[in-house]
Structure 1
Amino acid sequence: MTQLNTQQSLYFNKTATTYNKNMHVQYEVFTKLLSLLDTSTFETITDIGCGTGIITKKLHDHFNSKKTLGFDQSSSMIDHAKSAFETDTLTFQNKSAYNFSSNDHAELIFSNATLQWLPNLNKFFSLLKKKIDKPTTIAFSIFLPETYNELASGLKNSIDPSIIIAAERFESFNAIETICNQHFTDITFSTHNITHSYKSIMELLTIIKQTGSKELSPTIQFTKTKLSNLEKWFLSNHNAIIASYKVALGVIRIH
């Protein structure tokens, strides 16, 4: 979940204590990705972008793994993971996805709701492939640019047409598929769509903020008037405060 750059890492540091109670969508995506692996067994697991460690712990227990490693670029997230979940067989490290090493190799290399934050996805998969010299399964979920499309439209139409949200910069499904096909041969891709309703625009914005992404360009201050106009736009166009999430799911098998 957190492997973008120093600025993004520092922001995720601030959300370590709020992430778990607001990660409903991320957990739903994890459950969907896990369902694609349910006929498999893995004795060793590496979780890239493990965040607070709560998903890593569930992954570890689900497969009854003998050795699980979670790593993340956010030092605060890793501190939280270590204090809450670390054991002899479940460990955590503070490092970037780009620093994956041959020592991190596992039967399952897993990444949930993380890779959309990487500035160079092709570089990541290229480096990952070079470090893998044994059979493995790579399973990942990546949020797509259609995520929060209602919010993107609402901000543009009710506040400022030049506003760009972070999700609009994510790689497209076709781009992700092309990148992976450059490096791997046995790949299964699918997409998963989620729509959630929220009580108010403030609830939606708070959940976005407390799960690690507040990037808007240009940066804006949400006054009462702006929030009111944005909420009115949602109710006028959707009859509710909704958010759509579109996710790419990939399972790569290296024989």
Structure 2
Amino acid sequence: MIDKQLVQKRFSERASTYDQFASVQKTMANELMRRIAVLPKTILEIGCGTGYLTEKLRQAFPEASITAVDIAEGMIAVAKARLGGSDIVWRCGDIEAMGIEERYDLIISNATFQWLNEAERTITRLFSSLNEGGQLLFSTFGAQTFHELHTSFQASLQQHRITEALRIGPTFPTLVEWLACCERATNTVVFGNETFIVEHFPSVRDFFLSLRHIGATNSTTGRYCQRPSVFKTLVREYEERFSEDGAICATYHCLFFDITR
């Protein structure tokens, strides 16, 4: 279960450093733009963050009215500063809790749906908010995201003879699981595919710092391990197992979904 208050707090705190470290998210946003198949007059963007995708939408569809939503006030503030005195409608709130009164030609969301607690219900609501012929387009992260980290953590637990079901960060659904969720939610054909992006960092510490700078540290409820000895072993295992040319690898499992009403 995602702690939404913690998500809100962490992303607000890291709004000023997000763009500098969110290269994968920018790549995913660019890919979403390539997949837009409608000429929208009305757009709803969910999880607008610092406005990177919002700016591209405004440039591509200058005549469209855009409503941009984000849970974090700090992100909204940076996005507003980025886009100046535009006529974009900004809404700060949790899309799972807020009402959607209008209908849209395009509903789009980049690297946000991994923070949903009730994805199927939310996708049903969004799909019903599309105009006929409208497009719901989103990206998120899949089950193999940071598999290096999770593998190293499990190896560390084994070495410390810890049998309790502990975790480090959230776990994400697979492509097949997301497709099934979307099809149940919309009762229509859903197109989805996956790709992998590998980033490299000088050390595991630098990898963790990059996550902190974008606010993407653990925001789930439940038990997780905080023992320093376990993390020391995790770092050693990570560096021994997943290093290339003096840098450690971190894999993003990127999923893309396209649903037309």
Q: What is the TM-score when the length of structure 1 is the normalising length?
A: 0.86
How far did residue 44 of structure 1 move?
2.8
Offset of residue 21 of structure 1: 0.8
Q: Quick one: percent identity of the two aligned structures?
A: 21
How far has the Cα of 1:136 moved from its partner?
0.9
Deviation at 1:34, TM superposition (A): 2.2
Structure 2 partner of 1:233:
237
Q: 2: CA distance between counterparts of 1:145 and 1:125?
A: 19
Corresponding position of 2:64: 66
The separation in 1 between residues aligned to 2:132 and 2:4, in whole angstroms, is 30
Deviation at 1:141, TM superposition (A): 0.4
Shift of 1:8: 1.7
Q: Which residue of 1 aligns with 2:176?
A: 174
Deviations 1:7-44, CA, capped at 9 Å, x for gaps:
2212222111111111101111112222222x543333
Q: 2:198 aligns with which of 189, 195, 198?
A: 195
Q: How far 1:133 sits from its partner (Å)?
A: 4.5
User: Is the 2:104–2:129 Cα contact (8 Å) retained in structure 1?
Assistant: no
The equivalent of 2:217 in structure 1 is 214
Hey, what does 2:4 align to over in structure 1? 5
C-alpha deviation, 1:221, in angstroms: 6.4
For residue 249 of structure 1, what is the aligned residue in structure 2? 256
RMSD over aligned Cα atoms = 2.4
State the match for 2:91 in structure 1.
93
Deviation at 1:167, TM superposition (A): 3.6
SS at match of 1:6: helix
CA distance in 2: counterparts of 1:80 and 1:57, whole angstroms:
12
Q: What amino acid is the match of 1:77? A: M
Gaps of 5+ in 1: none
2:143 is the alignment partner of 1:139: no
Unpaired runs of 5+ residues, structure 2, are: none
Give the whole-Å Cα distance in 1 for the aligned partners of 2:29 and 2:206.
22
Q: Tell me the distance in 2 between the aligned counterparts of 1:4 and 1:42.
A: 33
Could you tell me which of 38, 47, 50 is aligned with 2:48? 50
SS of the residue corresponding to residue 16 of structure 2 reads coil
Offset of residue 62 of structure 1: 2.9
| Equivalent position amino acid for 2:17 in 1 | T
Whole-Å separation in 2 of the counterparts to 1:231 and 1:82: 39
CA distance in 1 between counterparts of 2:63 and 2:190 reads: 24
Q: What TM-score do the two structures reach when normalised by structure 2? A: 0.84
Higher RCO (CA < 8 A, seq sep 6+): 2
Conserved 8 A contact 2:69-2:92: yes
Find the residue that maps to 2:32 and give its secondary structure: helix
What one-letter code is carried by the residue in structure 2 that aligns with 1:218? Y
